[in-house]
Amino acid sequence: MSHNKFFISDTHFGHANILTFKNSNSGSPMRVFKDVEEMDEHMVTQWNSVVRPCDRVYHLGDVVMNRKFLPIVERLNGKKVLIMGNHDIFGSKEYLKYFEDVRAYKIFPKERIICSHIPVYSEVFPRWELNVHGHLHDNNVKEFSEKYLNVSVEQINYTPIAFDTILSLLGTQSISPKRIP
């Protein structure tokens, strides 16, 4: 059975305080959920609505804020790879209970794509067509160019985005700093 590849970042499962964060442009709440349980359940539902057990998901960092929430990852479909984020502070052994691999970044050489948690300075990667990243939540790289795609959950409707979708956006040069429907 063939598998698809998906990307997502900044789930922050179990992070109640993220519900107090404000949208940088409007000042409205960045995540609109009544509580952290509703937020977590929504993200699990959205994830499992598109990811099959045989699919591979690259989580581009900040999966949980507290290790007691790591077991929620067991409820998520797919074979998961964690690209470490700034809040992924526990030992790799703890993450390897839930992820097949833990790394600093992922490169797709044929497609000329580099995946990271924090956006990579574009001058550092002139040979890459695209940096798929997270970390910025509802923001985008200030000096936006087609070289960046933010897959923080706030940008992608809390739903992992398929690699094929990214490739089609790249192929049409239609990657923009707008949220992906």
What is the spatial distance between Cα 17 and Cα 173, in angstroms, rounded to a whole number?
36
Work out the number of other CB atoms within 10 angstroms of the CB of residue 109: 9
Instruction: Set out the domains of the chain in order of their start, with CATH numbers.
Output: 5-172 (3.60.21.10)
On the question of pLDDT at 179 being above 70, the answer is: no
Closest by CA position to 129, among listed 111, 143, 141: 111
pLDDT by residue (tens digit) across 12-41?
A: 999 999 999 998 888 999 999 999 999 999
Which of 49-58, 73-82, 131-140, 155-164 is the least confident region?
131-140
pLDDT of residue 117: 97
pLDDT by residue (tens digit) across 88-105?
A: 999 999 999 999 999 999
pTM of the model: 0.91
